[in-house]
Amino acid sequence: MKKTLVVLSSLAVSLTMTTPSVAYGRTNASSTPETSAAKIACVGSAVNTREAAIGTAMTTFTASTNSAYSARATALKQAYTQTTAKGVRGAVKTAWSTFKSSMKSARSTWKNARTKAWTDSKKAVAGCKAPSEVTDDSNMSLEETGV
């Protein structure tokens, strides 16, 4: 009797584990090609939006950086037209101080824009309800952070 119960129990467990869910009237909606394609397209749109925002932010950063270097060069050139050491020293100090401030602002603007682009992208991707294997969030660390 005990042997029969063990065999029947094993058979019941085996049948339960191997019977497809369709036999019970359930389907896996996330595995249909249409749903998967729509979810992938949704993720693609979120990634495209993120990349456009990051591209704009980097363009802004490089323009700000170029401007800071150009302003520094002009200020230093002007500093060395002074006729006294005190005048040169004051103008050089101002040139470098302004440069430092400009670069700090450019880096801060870049970091904030980059963080916002990734945060917004993650929220948009989450709304797509796509499988994790179609996202690229794990590659965020490869991006320039502290320029």
Query: Which tens digits make up the pLDDT trace of 13-65?
Result: 444 444 444 443 334 444 556 558 889 999 999 999 999 999 999 999 999 99
* pTM greater than the 0.85 cutoff: no
| CB 64, CB 109: distance < 8 Å | yes
| CB 97, CB 44: distance < 8 Å | no
Q: Closest Cα partner for 120 from 61, 56, 48?
A: 48
Whole-Å CA distances, 27 to 20, 30, 32, 123, 129: 9, 9, 9, 27, 17
| CB 145, CB 63: distance < 8 Å | no
